[in-house]
Chain A
Amino acid sequence: MAFDWTVFWPQLVDGTIATFIMVLVSLVFSILIGFPLGVVLVVTRPGHILENRTLFTILNAIINIFRSVPFIILLVAIIPFTRLVTGSSIGTVAAIVPLIFYAAPYFGRLVENSLLEVDSGVIEAAKVMGATPWQIIWRFLLPEALSSLILAATIATIGLIGASAMAGAVGGGGLGDLAITYGYNQFEVRVVVITVLLLIILVQLVQSLGNYFAQTVRRK
């Protein structure tokens, strides 16, 4: 049976759009959750401006737990929750939920690292000026870490592109789904090559954009 390219091309377009949607939506939610998580992880650690050992220890443990579960298992493990939220456990929308569970703790860690890179002398200077903890975060820590935060978001985005391809394994749609359905199951190597090429281009694009913005911020 010859491969029907007239059917494939529209599916490739749909698949690309599905990947975009999955990555973008889960990225937005991962940032919304992961960003405050990272900030809290920094400021509640011992010796920091809002030291809170209990909160720090709990958050730290939760993040580690989520970070240690392989994505493919996470995908399956939270199906009941996904169904509760989206009403379904398969499809693009349903894939977004596990992607958020995967990327939010990851982004939280990246934010934590970025903020820890800020010189402690800057925080000392802020305290000396009589800055409130809130002001220290918004007016000192975040501006100083901005360039590094942009790179963190870039890394998280690329992580999500990779993970979204895996979500294809459970019928999440997107480029990964195409590669598995046609390439893996029907031995159509050309399809695998095309989808992987598309993914590579996507990743390159995201990384270049991230580098560009990080550099622009830094040069200021």
Chain B
Amino acid sequence: MIELKNISKIYPGSPPVEALKEVSLHIEKGEIYGVVGVSGAGKSSLIRSVNLLEEPTTGEVMVDGVLLSSLSSEELRKARRKIGMIFQQFNLLESKTVFHNVALPLYLVGKKRKEVEEKVMQLLTFVGLADRAEHYPGQLSGGQKQRVGIARALATDPHILLCDEATSALDPDTTKSVLDLLRKVNKDYGITILLITHEMDVVRNLCDRVAVIDQGRIVEQGTVYEVFTNPKSETAQRFVRTIFGQELPESVHQSLEKQDQILRIVFTGENAKRPLIAEVIRKFQTDINILQGSITELQGKPFGDLLISIQGDRKVTENIIQYLQEHQVLVKEVASIGV
């Protein structure tokens, strides 16, 4: 659906800024794909290259099997109508009503009045703002403005929706309702969604797959489940940690003794439901101290994360690790606490 091949973007200047370095992404039809990164990592340049709001310095952008850079400006305008976009700051026309804002893309292509009216009201009903048609954006809350933005983006029946930090200006409750709406857009209309965000929580709640971007490079990508349960790059680990606060309380930290062996155990899928720790304690007749733990759900699958300390013989610990690994549980020895 969206294919980025070796995209680089260099902003001229002294020194020139390399915002994207050889970025390649492949986004399947119908999926929700998230790109996460800190500000300045290149997310904004990345998403703007998909509709050529920013032209990559090198590399290819294919959307719906069409090489965008090969299009004339008229063809590009047509192609853009099939790639909707919503923005962090909503970018609505403050001087026009909600109705007019949503109708604008239709007016631009010269749709008839009656047709426009029908379509706009249908879209406003879909986003839950039919009763606000005659309001001005200044009279709406942030969440409502973003709903208008979504309705406007859907007006031209796009195949793709690009979300540029769409919930970053919203409070947590509103964020959740906008994410629910985006999920509905994906399900009901079958629209492929590409979003960029600095909030890992957005990725966790909405996305199927995720790419982590750092200093203009994609450092990791995979399903949300993979990246959350087993982040490999340091950047990804840092982002995952923002969700599952993995810092040990100071008092727990201090109570640990030097010879204690600390393990991080990640249960995924069905394993998360098994009483594996109890089995280990019985089988190895050892003391296990649970330092921290959580069980959450990711993409509908349970996911457990435990930090334990084992006292005693090093050999026993190795046996325990082996036993757990045989049961397809991810085990990592943690050298220093705080990971």
Q: Which residue from B53, B96, B108 sits with its C-beta under 8 Å from A143?
A: B96
Q: Is A217 an interface residue (CB 8 A)?
A: yes
Q: Which residue from B78, B79, B93, B105 sits with its C-beta under 8 Å from A122?
A: B93
Residue in A122, A130, A135, A143 whose Cβ sees the most chain B Cβ within 10 Å: A130
With contacts A119-B91, A144-B94 known, is A127 near B108, CB below 8 A? no
Q: Is B85 an interface residue (CB 8 A)?
A: yes
Seed contacts A128-B84, A130-B77; 12 additional CB < 8 Å A-B pairs: A121-B91, A125-B87, A125-B92, A127-B53, A128-B153, A129-B80, A130-B109, A132-B77, A143-B96, A144-B95, A220-B95, A220-B136
Q: Is B107 an interface residue (CB 8 A)?
A: yes
Q: Could you tell me if A139 and B80 are in contact, using CB atoms closer than 8 angstroms?
A: no
In angstroms, how far is the closest chain A Cβ from the Cβ of B161? Answer: 11
Please measure, in the bound complex, the distance between the C-alpha atom of A5 and the C-alpha atom of B65, giving whole angstroms: 85
In angstroms, how far is the closest chain A Cβ from the Cβ of B218? Answer: 24
Residue in A125, A140, A146 whose Cβ sees the most chain B Cβ within 10 Å: A125
The B82-119 residues at the A interface (CB cut-off 8 A) are 83-85, 87, 89-96, 104-105, 107-109
Q: Is A131 an interface residue (CB 8 A)?
A: yes
With contacts A125-B87, A130-B80, A217-B95 known, is A139 near B107, CB below 8 A? yes
Number of interface residues of B (CB under 8 A): 28
Q: Please give, as numbers and ranges, the residues of chain B lying within 8 Å of A146 by CB-CB distance.
A: 95
In angstroms, how far is the closest chain A Cβ from the Cβ of B204? Answer: 27
Q: Is B145 an interface residue (CB 8 A)?
A: no
Q: Is B51 an interface residue (CB 8 A)?
A: yes
With contacts A121-B87, A125-B87, A220-B136 known, is A131 near B95, CB below 8 A? no
Q: Could you tell me if A130 and B95 are in contact, using CB atoms closer than 8 angstroms?
A: no
Q: Could you tell me if B96 and A124 are in contact, using CB atoms closer than 8 angstroms?
A: no
Q: Is B221 an interface residue (CB 8 A)?
A: no
Q: Could you tell me if A135 and B108 are in contact, using CB atoms closer than 8 angstroms?
A: yes
Q: Please give, as numbers and ranges, the residues of chain B lying within 8 Å of A220 by CB-CB distance.
A: 95, 136
7 interchain pairs, CB-CB under 8 A: A119-B89, A119-B91, A129-B104, A130-B77, A130-B78, A139-B108, A146-B95
Q: Please give, as numbers and ranges, the residues of chain B lying within 8 Å of A30 by CB-CB distance.
A: none
Q: Could you tell me if B108 and A124 are in contact, using CB atoms closer than 8 angstroms?
A: no
Q: Is A114 an interface residue (CB 8 A)?
A: no
With contacts A144-B93, A220-B95, A220-B136 known, is A124 near B53, CB below 8 A? yes
Please measure, in the bound complex, the distance between the C-alpha atom of A220 and the C-alpha atom of B95, giving whole angstroms: 7
The A105-164 residues at the B interface (CB cut-off 8 A) are 119, 121-122, 124-125, 127-132, 135, 139-140, 143-144, 146-147
Q: Could you tell me if A128 and B51 are in contact, using CB atoms closer than 8 angstroms?
A: yes
Query: Interface 1/0s, chain B 21-33, versus A by CB < 8 A?
Result: 0000000000000
The A19-64 residues at the B interface (CB cut-off 8 A) are none
* Secondary structure call for the A interface: helix
Please measure, in the bound complex, the distance between the C-alpha atom of A144 and the C-alpha atom of B91, giving whole angstroms: 11
Q: Which residue from A121, A125, A129, A144 sits with its C-beta under 8 Å from B156?
A: A129
Q: Which residue of A lies closest to B105 (CB)?
A: A129
In angstroms, how far is the closest chain A Cβ from the Cβ of B82? Answer: 9
Q: Please give, as numbers and ranges, the residues of chain B lying within 8 Å of A135 by CB-CB distance.
A: 108
In angstroms, how far is the closest chain B Cβ from the Cβ of A12? Answer: 42
The B138-165 residues at the A interface (CB cut-off 8 A) are 152-153, 156
Query: Interface 1/0s, chain A 172-213, versus B by CB < 8 A?
Result: 000000000000000000000000000000000000000000
With contacts A121-B89, A128-B53, A129-B156 known, is A139 near B95, CB below 8 A? no
Q: Is B217 an interface residue (CB 8 A)?
A: no
Q: Please give, as numbers and ranges, the residues of chain A lying within 8 Å of B90 by CB-CB distance.
A: 121
Q: Could you tell me if A140 and B93 are in contact, using CB atoms closer than 8 angstroms?
A: yes
Q: Please give, as numbers and ranges, the residues of chain A lying within 8 Å of B83 by CB-CB distance.
A: 128
Q: Could you tell me if B87 and A131 are in contact, using CB atoms closer than 8 angstroms?
A: no
Q: Please give, as numbers and ranges, the residues of chain B lying within 8 Å of A124 by CB-CB distance.
A: 53, 87, 91
Q: Please give, as numbers and ranges, the residues of chain A lying within 8 Å of B43 by CB-CB distance.
A: none
In angstroms, how far is the closest chain B Cβ from the Cβ of A131? Answer: 5
Q: Could you tell me if A143 and B95 are in contact, using CB atoms closer than 8 angstroms?
A: yes
In angstroms, how far is the closest chain A Cβ from the Cβ of B52? Answer: 9
In angstroms, how far is the closest chain B Cβ from the Cβ of A140? Answer: 7
Q: Could you tell me if B104 and A139 are in contact, using CB atoms closer than 8 angstroms?
A: yes
Please measure, in the bound complex, the distance between the C-alpha atom of A140 and the C-alpha atom of B92, giving whole angstroms: 10
Q: Which residue of B lies closest to A128 (CB)?
A: B85
In angstroms, how far is the closest chain A Cβ from the Cβ of B9? Answer: 15
Q: Could you tell me if A128 and B80 are in contact, using CB atoms closer than 8 angstroms?
A: yes
Q: Please give, as numbers and ranges, the residues of chain A lying within 8 Å of B107 by CB-CB distance.
A: 139
In angstroms, how far is the closest chain A Cβ from the Cβ of B299? Answer: 30
In angstroms, how far is the closest chain B Cβ from the Cβ of A121? Answer: 4
Q: Which residue of A lies closest to B100 (CB)?
A: A143
Q: Is B81 an interface residue (CB 8 A)?
A: yes
Please measure, in the bound complex, the distance between the C-alpha atom of A146 and the C-alpha atom of B79, giving whole angstroms: 30
Q: Which residue from A131, A144, A147 sits with its C-beta under 8 Å from B108?
A: A131
Q: Please give, as numbers and ranges, the residues of chain A lying within 8 Å of B94 by CB-CB distance.
A: 144
Please measure, in the bound complex, the distance between the C-alpha atom of A45 and the C-alpha atom of B339, giving whole angstroms: 51
Q: Which residue of B lies closest to A125 (CB)?
A: B91
Q: Please give, as numbers and ranges, the residues of chain B lying within 8 Å of A128 by CB-CB distance.
A: 51, 53, 80, 83-85, 153
Q: Which residue of B lies closest to A140 (CB)?
A: B93
In angstroms, how far is the closest chain A Cβ from the Cβ of B134? Answer: 11
